[in-house]
Structure 1
Amino acid sequence: MKLTSIPSLYRNLRRGREILAVLRRYGLADWLSRSQRMPMRNWLKDRSGVPLTQYTRAQRIRMAITELGPTFIKVGQVLASRPDMVGTEIAEELKGLRGDVRPDSETQVRRTLGSELGEDFEKHFKSIDFDPLATASIGQVHRAVLLDGRRVVIKVQRSGIDRMMKQDLEVLEGLAQLASKVESLAVWGPTEMVRQLMPMVMHELDFNRERGSLKQFAETLRDQRHEVIVPEVVDALCTRRVLVMNEMVGVPLAKVFQTRPDDTSATNITKEALPADLGQRLARVYLKMVFEDGFFHADPHPGNLFCLEDHRLGILDFGMTGRIDESLRESIEEMLFAINSGDQRRLTRLIRQVGNPRVDLDHAALEIDVADFVDTFGRQSLNQFDLRGALNQLTEILHRHGISLPNQSAMLLKMLISLEGTLRELGVGFDSLEIVRTYMRKVMIRRLTPGRRLRQARRIYLENEAFLEEAPEQVLAVLNQARLGQLQLRLDPKRFAPAINRLVIGLMASAVFLGSSLLLAYEVSPVLFPDAPVLGIQNVSLIGLLGLLASLGAMTALCLAIFRSGGDE
């Protein structure tokens, strides 16, 4: 047995036990919550003394993730952007996860800066404020001033977070392997879920990725600098674990939305004091990212958006970004056209094309749900259209039918939902779909341009050329294998397991029935009623009778199981 075949759960036994203890506690609370009469129902409580059974399942999931620590908080924040995986209710609850943890001490921050920038790192700065401005699950932010007087912020990775996250993700991978063996959990696709989540979480440990994203956004938004800006990075002071960038002087929109009418603080800005066109500007910027640049900021919630002193829009936190290639963008555009025209068949086909449907997908049920979706939202006028409701219902359809989206598509969906919520907060009466319609007009014009037609023809030619070159060779290889008797057909045994199990049970029950019948016929001892008949029955083999009853019971249970499943398995 190879060491690599040992589940990672057992290679991190101590941390695994801690995780399992938390999951067991909240899992038991979930089981107790299903019965109102359970005597021990209120024994498990949170830190404030409230019984865990009084919370909803989604709330208990969020609380368990919070208790498990920074790695699981980051995983939960990523899952909040994947309602196609976990469902809308749980995704909405996970949005409440906060990475606020105890910050690293000044000594730890100095040690990290020294290892990344050199022991004499302070020579680059006029001053550094070691009291963190903000603390998250992966890093914390400190204010500083450069030698030339520029005000900057330093994002420092938390000490030991990379080792902790790698260990936790190994344990999570082991738990996913175990969960895939449980029928009630396997339907969630835990191993596939972890496979998609791991790179997204690990990428945030490399601040060089965020630095690259900041520089790319600064370039793509160059023509809109009068409306929107992103922080400028100080390349000479950036490493894998340290990111130095200009400080944005302004107020986060999150604080604006939370401001009380009687707040008289110096940073108080009411919604009414915001620029009147801020919502339109925000929508234009993000739709340009999607439909023109193909590179978008995936987390436009109010905490990452600033209203600067000069009333420009500032965008922060580029740890989570998404890319859209031309094929995916065209699929999204076609989906919008299909919804607008009420073409449910086309929309169903596009959903299957963009997503990753299960092998046992019920196509008829999916078409019914899509038809209901188009009937509900495809007929709404622009001033009545509920964008968030439409996106949430679409993700519910995907989750219900087990259609998972590629990471980039899921991030785009999450970005649109978050953007719509922020736009809604910015002002009642703002019609975001009018801007969408404007972009759709541009899309139609772009689709009809000769340049796009030439690119499309070139792509089709190259794809067909590659197919024509490879297909004959592959066909000949298959025929050669068949001629030599080497052609093999591989089937997934898991798909046939229920049918095979029922076949085996049926054969065993039939064998027991036949054997029991023979025992009864030959009156094999011990027998019942040997001296005198009872109701005309005498010398009945006890073993044969028990075997007969057992086989009839097994056959009856098997028939009921087949009947309940509709004969599909």
Structure 2
Amino acid sequence: MKTNYTKKRLREIVSVSVKHGLKGGINNPSQLREALEELGPTFIKIGQILSTRPDILSKEYILELQRLQDDVKPEKFEMVKNAIESELNNSLEENFAIFEEEPIASASLSQVHYAELKTGEKVVVKVQRPNAKKMMMADIDILKKLAPFINLTPTGSAMDAKEVIEELAAATKKELDFINEAKNTKCFREKNKDVKFILCPKIYEDYCTEKIIVMDYIEGIKIDNIDKLKEEGYDLKDLATKLTYNYFKQIFEDGFFHADPHPGNIFLCGRKIGYIDFGLMGVLDDNLRKKFNDFLEAVANRDVNLMTKSVMKIGQKRGPVDRSRLYEDIEIIYDQYIEESIQDFDLPQIIEEIFKVCKDNNIYMPKDITLLVKGLMTIQGLIAKLDSEINIMDIALPYVKEHITNEKLKDLNSIETLRSLYEIIKSNLILSSKIIELIEQIKAGNLRTQIEFKESEEASNELNKMVNRLIFGMIVAGLVVSSSIVINANVGLKIYGISAFGLIGYLGAAIAGFWLLISIIKSGKL
């Protein structure tokens, strides 16, 4: 409360909050949106960040906050020019051959200008508004002080206002650091460089600072401009399929996905899907991905017990958890879908309902999982606009099944494969030796049994031959199975693109199998 700004802003926030009925908690989505709009640009940004958090807000609130308008009056060009020159330590003319004074977009924290570099590249320059960071962090500090009195979370939320504000502060700092956005853009571009239908802007690092980012200019058609896409001859079904497949790739293969894939951030340019704005990205490490894979596998198999276990593993406890009650709550969701074909499942809706169950059971989901759910909800909305006949599950099921299979095979390497082959053969040989030892005990009369053998020598020899052939057949089968796994995993030295270890295993199995067949034929007991 040291500055006049803080005192004046505090009175304004309290007044608007009371006016829109937020003092006793949020009970109406439109109340929250209207309050944030009235409080200005920094609170609009807070609302936009909240719209990515289905763990904090229900679907009605998220949809309402997505209506927040972020178009604000642009800064005067002189202020923009001074900011760029101060950050780059050079005049605007020395850095750019062309720099358009009128911005092509203007938001609460930054604005974007078209420019051309001295080397001829067409770029966009994203410039942070002067004092934007200082004012936004000051507003968040005020909210921290007001948290005990003004509740920013809907009634029944598993998180209190203080926790929400702390997370908002962390998210805001990230969004205000353009170096972080530049790193995200480079990482996304690298991970998708081999996807022919994906376009990601190139970052020009020499021109990037905490307050300025310069990247390729992507000009195209917004992905929700259906009429224009049809006019340009795009296959909307193919477009929807590619968009979904790539988003699943971002999640399950890369573990690095665009957390805000709304229509304003996706363009069609030269028959490619172009992404922009990488300030908000989701990250799933290997451990979290495995847990989420288990959850999806449980959904696909309608396994309530595995769903419950997966939710317990993914979530963080915020109080006492009754596992029986959690199981029953998830089972209720399961019963709603039991009569439906799995292709008709609304995956984001199911996950959102499970999130609600988690809140009711004092379980809080990690931020990146909530970003993932928000992303899936947004992608599903885009798919519905592009082709109403496509359901996200049509693509999710085969992709997830294939991915889970590949995950189980990708960790195989040549040494481990050889070790597995050795263990299979060794186990079979041990089994064989034990059976032979048993037979020898029978021959020597050391087996404690009251059965009296007649002509035991001949009988045991025949049994010995039979067991040897059985064990030999098991070894051959083991070689065939192990070689198939190796070839499917495609690891180790290659011969004409096929794993050499797999081929050697097949060859060994063929020779051994042929020898076994000859020995059986010679015995006259085929």
Change (3 A) 1:9 1:364: farther
Matched, 1:337 2:308: no
Q: Name the counterpart of 2:190.
A: 219
Change (3 A) 1:452 1:27: farther
Q: Name the counterpart of 2:455.
A: none
CA distance in 2, matches of 1:122, 1:325: 44
CA distance in 2, matches of 1:119, 1:181: 44
CA distance in 1, matches of 2:84, 2:14: 35
Matched, 1:432 2:386: no
Native 8 Å contact 1:387 1:420 kept in 2? no
Q: Name the counterpart of 1:22.
A: 16
Change (3 A) 1:122 1:272: closer
Native 8 Å contact 1:9 1:173 kept in 2? no
- Percent sequence identity is 31
- Which of 402, 415, 427 does residue 375 from structure 2 map onto? 415
CA distance in 1, matches of 2:180, 2:152: 36
Q: Name the counterpart of 1:247.
A: 217
SS in 2 for 1:417: helix
Change (3 A) 1:407 1:126: same
Change (3 A) 1:376 1:8: farther
Matched, 1:397 2:357: yes
Matched, 1:228 2:198: yes
Q: Name the counterpart of 1:553.
A: none
Q: Deviations over 1:415-474 (max 9, x none)?
A: 111111111111122243232222222233234327269999xxxxxxxxxxxxxxxxxx
CA distance in 2, matches of 1:227, 1:378: 37
Native 8 Å contact 2:158 2:363 kept in 1? no
SS in 2 for 1:231: coil
CA distance in 2, matches of 1:84, 1:419: 18
Instruction: Map 1:511-526 onto structure 2 (within 5 A).
Output: none
Native 8 Å contact 1:180 1:186 kept in 2? no
CA distance in 1, matches of 2:297, 2:401: 11
Native 8 Å contact 1:9 1:172 kept in 2? no
Tell me the CA shift for residue 68 of structure 1: 1.3
Tell me the CA shift for residue 241 of structure 1: 0.6
Q: Name the counterpart of 2:6.
A: 12
CA distance in 2, matches of 1:230, 1:183: 37
- Which of 161, 164, 167 does residue 193 from structure 1 map onto? 164
Matched, 1:295 2:256: yes
CA distance in 2, matches of 1:378, 1:326: 31
SS in 1 for 2:363: coil
CA distance in 2, matches of 1:30, 1:184: 9
Q: Name the counterpart of 2:65.
A: 94
SS in 2 for 1:421: helix
Q: Name the counterpart of 1:468.
A: none
Matched, 1:110 2:81: yes
Tell me the CA shift for residue 11 of structure 1: 10
Q: Structure 1: which 5+ runs fail to align? A: 1-6, 34-55, 260-267, 457-569
Change (3 A) 1:176 1:189: same
Tell me the CA shift for residue 370 of structure 1: 0.5
Higher relative contact order (CA 8 A, sep 6+): 2
Q: Name the counterpart of 1:68.
A: 39
CA distance in 1, matches of 2:365, 2:22: 31
CA distance in 1, matches of 2:153, 2:252: 42
Q: Name the counterpart of 2:142.
A: 171
Q: Name the counterpart of 1:531.
A: none
CA distance in 1, matches of 2:148, 2:124: 41
Q: Name the counterpart of 1:375.
A: 335
Q: Name the counterpart of 1:305.
A: 266
Q: Deviations over 1:352-388 (max 9, x none)?
A: 2212233134444332220021222355324422234
What TM-score results when the alignment is normalised by the length of structure 2? Answer: 0.73
CA distance in 2, matches of 1:404, 1:328: 14
The count of aligned residue pairs is: 415
Change (3 A) 1:9 1:333: farther
SS in 1 for 2:56: helix
Change (3 A) 1:315 1:201: same
Native 8 Å contact 1:179 1:186 kept in 2? no
Q: Structure 2: which 5+ runs fail to align? A: 417-526
CA distance in 2, matches of 1:161, 1:454: 55
Counterpart code for 1:374: Y
CA distance in 2, matches of 1:185, 1:374: 23
What TM-score results when the alignment is normalised by the length of structure 1? Answer: 0.68
Change (3 A) 1:307 1:289: same
SS in 1 for 2:218: coil
Counterpart code for 1:306: F
CA distance in 2, matches of 1:400, 1:454: 48
CA distance in 1, matches of 2:256, 2:214: 22
